[in-house]
């Protein structure tokens, strides 16, 4: 009887919807200079600070239970503005870090077009699995809650792909300080995670054929 009650409680929590306000950080100094930031810390410029303040003002009217950010400085800066009106701390996680661009990090993006991708760039497979793990973590930790998640252009794209069960190429990139609303549960996220795992495996196969990450693709401003 007690075991049955525990299972029922678990099912209730698994079905509870988590509302996610997915945010991309404000514009940074390196965004404006078209420098590939990757997992460097980054610093909001004046426009980025203004963008973060505008997002904070917009979300101040919402009920927010938690604010979670990438552990990179530019995301934490943006999240701090959003968290302040709600009196909430900013929780950080490496799961929300931007893609690791390896040897492309710190390079001027327009010069990368047509270059062979270095082998040390984080693969699309790894990125999708990290996005899956983030959604599983968030829905399991905050069932029924409303959470702001501040990430970056490419990891956010991967999160949206897992959520929508589509490829990353089908997801429109987020602009600086853009907000997208997701509603999901631990149960539906677990189901989407299976799709993400299959997509990640397909991405790995494509990559091994030389048509993806370490082939002759070109880097973009994302």
Q: Please indicate, yes or no, whether the overall pTM of this predicted structure exceeds 0.85.
A: no
Catalytic residue among 43, 50, 73, 98: 98
First to last CA, the chain: 53
Question: Each residue's pLDDT tens digit in the chain (222 positions)?
Answer: 454 444 444 444 556 899 999 999 999 999 999 999 999 999 999 999 999 999 999 999 999 999 999 999 999 999 999 999 999 999 999 999 999 999 999 999 999 988 899 999 999 999 999 999 999 999 999 999 999 999 999 999 999 999 999 999 999 999 999 999 999 887 776 666 555 555 555 555 444 433 333 332 334 444
SS3 breakdown of the chain: % helix, strand, coil, rounded to 5?
50, 15, 35
- SS3 state at 147: strand
Look up 25 and say whether it is catalytic. Answer: yes
For the chain, the structural domain boundaries read 22-199
Alpha carbon separation from 174 to 4, 45, 157 (Å, rounded): 44, 18, 7
CATH dotted code for 22-199? 3.40.50.1240
Q: Is 187 left (phi over 0), alpha (psi -120 to 50) or beta?
A: alpha
Look up 86 and say whether it is catalytic. Answer: no
Pair 18, 144: CB distance under 8 Å: yes
């Amino acid at each position: 009887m007690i075991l049955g009650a525990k299972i029922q409680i678990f099912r209730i929590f698994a079905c509870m919807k988590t509302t996610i306000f997915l945010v991309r950080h404000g514009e940074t100094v390196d965004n404006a200079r078209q420098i590939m930031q990757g997992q460097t810390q980054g610093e909001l410029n004046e426009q980025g600070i203004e963008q973060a303040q505008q997002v904070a003002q917009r979300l101040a009217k919402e009920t927010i239970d938690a604010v979670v950010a990438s552990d990179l400085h530019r995301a934490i800066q943006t999240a701090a503005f959003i968290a302040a009106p709600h009196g909430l701390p900013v929780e950080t996680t490496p799961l929300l870090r931007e893609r690791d661009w390896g040897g492309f990090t710190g390079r001027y993006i327009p010069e990368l077009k047509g270059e062979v991708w270095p082998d040390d760039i984080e693969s699309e497979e790894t990125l999708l699995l990290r996005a899956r793990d983030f959604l599983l973590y968030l829905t399991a930790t905050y069932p029924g809650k409303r959470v702001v998640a501040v990430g970056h252009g490419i990891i956010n794209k991967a999160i949206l792909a897992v959520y929508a069960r589509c490829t990353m190429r089908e997801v429109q990139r987020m602009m600086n300080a853009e907000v997208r609303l997701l509603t999901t549960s631990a149960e539906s996220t677990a189901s989407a995670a299976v799709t993400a795992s299959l997509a990640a495996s397909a991405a790995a196969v494509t990559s091994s054929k030389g048509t993806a990450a370490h082939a002759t693709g070109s880097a973009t401003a994302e």
